[in-house]
Amino acid sequence: MAIKSIPQLDLSDFKSGDAVRKGKFVRELGKAYEEIGFVAIKNHGLDDTTTSELYEQVEAFFNLPKSVKERYEIEGLAGQRGFTSFGKEHAKNHNAGDLKEFWQFGQCVKNNEPLNELYPKNVSVKELPSFNPISMRVYKSLEDAGKIMLQAIALHLSLDEFYFDDKIENGNSILRAIYYPPITHEPGDAVRSAEHEDINLITLLMGASAEGLQVLNRSNEWINVTALPGYIVVNVGDMLQRLTNGKLKSTTHRVVNPPKSKWSTPRFSIPFFLHPIAQMDLSCLENCITEENPKQFEDITAGEYLDERLAEIGLKK
């Protein structure tokens, strides 16, 4: 039977020190990621006050005049830091730009100078001195939660629990603040975010400010994903799907336009895209290749795959 809603799990079960609770969490997470690719997680370590503070800063930034925001759009960074203006990004195999603009924060490396020089620097907004500090606090909280989630995923895959730890330390992860403005005229084929799969290992999504997120289940039915108080949504990305030879599902999802009566309602959303270091080998794990499930993907590194996908969605030439 096709899943009609995404499963809800408690991360404190995995962190409890109780082998029974931990094992149950791993089993339920693995089942969800094999069937639908999405879960809702509570007790993830990000408190409501910090979340509210970030949403206030995000709303304040996107309410700045267009001319001010455009000062922070930096050529040559493929949208990986700072501001990306309305309609520039599109889903793979879609020509119409998504009805959104966004801001991206990236990794701050403190213990690896060559890597620190490789990553672009984060962009400061002089009009909002609290924007960067609160964003980086959230970045680190979600990075920590993602590390624990990947430890559970590793156990489900019969790997060492800490298999992913060194691969995501100082990884090329992104915190993206997205603004979907009010719709002021007939959008035609354009939607707030066309159906797509995420590029990275896993995505951790703080509760969005309005409805619209939908996930495609195995019966090709779109399931509405609503923000539950105290939960974040965590989904599998394409890199993890490749690594597991399709065992874990990078599920198609989208953000649909609201009904016309709600066109005037803006939407804010803040996902954290957890990426590994560029050198991570995404070759399919041997224990995920069987006669029933032969190897589906060519060997590639995380950095090579990211470059390929950024070009496909219009952010990199």
Helix/strand number for the chain, H first, E second: 9, 12
| Residue 11 pLDDT class (50, 70, 90 cuts) | very high
What stretch of H or E contains 68? Answer: helix 66-69
Per-residue model confidence as pLDDT tens digits over 211-252: 778 889 888 899 888 767 889 999 999 999 999 999 999 989
Domain ranges of the chain: 8-312
Q: Hey, what CATH class is 8-312 in?
A: mainly beta
Tokens coding 207: 């509760």
Question: What is the model's pLDDT at position 294?
Answer: 96
What is the distance between the alpha carbons of residues 182 and 166, in angstroms, rounded to a whole number? 42
Please tell me the pTM assigned to this model.
0.90
What is the distance between the alpha carbons of residues 165 and 167, in angstroms, rounded to a whole number? 5
Per-residue model confidence as pLDDT tens digits over 26-43: 999 999 999 999 999 999
Question: What is the model's pLDDT at position 91?
Answer: 58
Given a cut of 90, whether residue 86 has pLDDT beyond it is no
| Residue 94 pLDDT class (50, 70, 90 cuts) | low
Given a cut of 90, whether residue 185 has pLDDT beyond it is no
Per-residue model confidence as pLDDT tens digits over 63-81: 999 999 999 998 887 778 9
Mean per-residue pLDDT, 295-313: 90
Side by side, which strands form the sheet with 253-255?
A: 193-196, 253-255, 213-216, 222-224
